[in-house]
Chains A and B, each alone.
Chain A
């Protein structure tokens, strides 16, 4: 569903991503681990076509994201590290607006249901977003991803800064979407969440995917050891 072929991004003389090759299939949750500046967010941004690749290509559903972005954007949903919504609109209005942009029109009851089942407390649904915590905003993002019925999920450190309960709820929703066949690419620093939720893990360093494996192949301790070893090297 998601595929990178020799995907490279240079900012001047700095290579942010170097010849990345990866593939994420339906029902996979591929977690990209790595320190800051390893190229995780660059990878996500390239799949979103927010920046142009210097060479190589990114594909969603077999379509080059730079050439057929109308098609590829319809398939994906994106949740950044800090999901920003319109502070003067309510959670429900934000959801309604972003769903509408993607061509999904729901009635008020369905939107309320989506927000509630994504973990947003009922009393906040009709409050303006400037009163929301970061966790609440992320939940609107999850509701949006579900509402869009996306088959690809691009997550850029989505649980960063969330409390453990909210992170857990987030993981549960990811697993729910996995069951529906959604292909997920998630950049994260959270080793535990990657092992617990992910199906595949890739470790990135200085723009290079230096290792990738299935989460079944390693224990959490092995993963931690391997990660720290790569970071120290």
Chain B
């Protein structure tokens, strides 16, 4: 038999909540929203995964079956690579809508990612698609507020608080009884969703793009557990301090708006204005300018190639490029490629540095706002964040460089100077290029990028627990 006072309080809170039907209504709403989000996320993941898988295979066949041609023409014929959908993108779409799904790889150019879902949607997408993460980050806290805002004010206004405390129980016990009761109710509501997510993620985990899927699911549950606990504990604390239910609700709704809408938007605008990104046109023009005039602005391509030619003639002790044992055109192509890569890397690094600074501001702000913390961690664990995208971009660029290098080297080794259309490579060369495959960074590598966010959730949990305990000790059922 349950006899401990805290257990009695938990039991009483749950019994009353069930009889008031509010929790049932909320449970149905949350379950429906999460169910729809999970189903839609899964369908979207499956469809996109299948499309990407099929198209990638088709493009691979096109590459292998392109026929005999000059390697440099093959380098321009190029191929496509596709960003594989991570399993947990069914939970949190993250930046997938903005980063694009495929990129065309060819010599000399780093093309932009294409087919960004956000381009095909109206501006409504700015409010976010209905993902499970969105429901858990924004809507569930709102429902927690409606459930818990009157937890103390009702007791105070109805007079049951005095009767409760006259039985010899402390505020400490009463508060934690209420907090634990809300935690249990929420757990019961979210349990079917958690089971569904675990099963669906487990079913897809063998696809290999995302390592340690189950560990990620566990960490997602843990971080969201911290986050939702914060809302429960904070709502009970506000109710404990408030003079009436109306004030408690107003305070909590204001906090919710501030933390989930105003602060993230303000931080985003602030970081953008502080560290402004160049336009795509400016970015590309900067690269083209250096390619044309050299990194020092006074060494055009003709001068650079002439210098290279001189070095090769000297190295092989010959008078003309025709006498070289290798095709100087291939060497020159690869030299040009590597020079352009250096320029691209420099500009890309500068661009990433701006992104990094913007993200850094957002990350630091997460210390003040657990919503930002859980948003970042959720995307990171789902493999839909900026760090994972940059990791993918780097892998794609390495793949492109390797492809072009092999084409240029083949040209240098097997063709003759000046006979551009005379030499044709075949499927043996095309097969030397492995099919593109990608795996997201491991959990430990990803989490290292989010120290502020992890600290934020832990710190806020400690603060809210301390706040509750401190207030419990100071509280009296009557003011005065």
Contacts and interface: CB of A to CB of B under 8 A. Distances in A.
B195 interface: no
Interface string A100-123: 111101000000000000000000
Contacts of B167: 73, 98, 101-102, 148
Contacts of B9: 101
A88 interface: yes
Contact of B5 (A50, A101, A148): A101
Interface in A1-38: 9, 11
Nearest to A141: B163
Interface string B466-480: 000000000011101
A49 to B, nearest CB: 8
B281 to A, nearest CB: 65
Contact of B166 (A51, A73, A128): A73
B16 interface: yes
B19 interface: yes
B166 A78 contact: yes
Contact of A105 (B3, B20, B476): B3
A97 B8 contact: yes
Interface stretch (A79-87, A173-181, A201-209, A210-218): A79-87
Contacts of A160: none
Contact of B476 (A52, A76, A93): A52
Contact of B16 (A49, A77, A82, A88): A88
B160 A86 contact: yes
Contacts of A171: none
Interface in B1-20: 1-3, 5, 8-9, 12, 15-16, 19-20
Given A52-B476, A89-B15, A83 B163 contact: yes
B128 interface: no
A127 interface: no
Interface string A38-79: 000000010011111000000000000000011001101110
B273 interface: no
A84 B164 CA distance: 10
Contacts, number: 79
B159 A101 contact: no
Nearest to A93: B15
Nearest to A156: B162
A26 B338 CA distance: 99
Q: Which size class do B's interface residues fall under?
A: 20 to 34
Given A50-B165, A73-B166, A101-B169, A84 B478 contact: no
Contact of B168 (A50, A52, A74, A93): A74
A50 B19 contact: no
B122 interface: no
B158 interface: yes
B8 A80 contact: no
Given A85-B160, A86-B160, A88-B20, A97 B12 contact: yes
User: Main SS of the interface on chain B?
Assistant: helix
B163 A98 contact: yes
A52 B2 CA distance: 33
Contacts of A148: 167
A24 to B, nearest CB: 17
Nearest to A83: B163
A26 B167 CA distance: 20
A84 B158 CA distance: 6
Given A50-B476, A73-B166, A98-B167, A82 B12 contact: no
Contacts of A77: 166
Contacts of A52: 476, 480
Given A52-B476, A88-B20, A100 B5 contact: yes
A78 B476 contact: no
B478 A101 contact: no
Nearest to A73: B168
Contact of A80 (B20, B162, B164): B162
A51 B476 contact: yes
B16 A89 contact: yes
Contacts of A9: 480
A88 B168 contact: no
Contacts of B476: 49-52
Nearest to B174: A101
Interface in B159-200: 159-160, 162-169
Contacts of B20: 88
A63 B413 CA distance: 100
Nearest to A97: B12
Given A80-B159, A84-B160, A48 B166 contact: yes
Contacts of B19: 88-89, 128
Given A50-B477, A78-B163, A102 B8 contact: no
Given A45-B478, A50-B162, A101 B8 contact: yes
A80 to B, nearest CB: 6
A78 B160 contact: no
Closest 5 CB pairs of A and B: A73-B168, A84-B159, A78-B166, A101-B167, A88-B19
22 contacts: A9-B480, A45-B478, A49-B476, A51-B478, A78-B166, A80-B162, A83-B163, A85-B163, A88-B15, A88-B16, A88-B20, A89-B19, A93-B15, A97-B8, A98-B167, A100-B3, A100-B5, A101-B5, A101-B164, A105-B3, A148-B167, A154-B166
Interface of B: 1-3, 5, 8-9, 12, 15-16, 19-20, 158-160, 162-169, 476-478, 480
Interface of A: 9, 11, 45, 48-52, 69-70, 73-74, 76-78, 80, 82-86, 88-89, 93, 97-98, 100-103, 105, 128, 148, 154
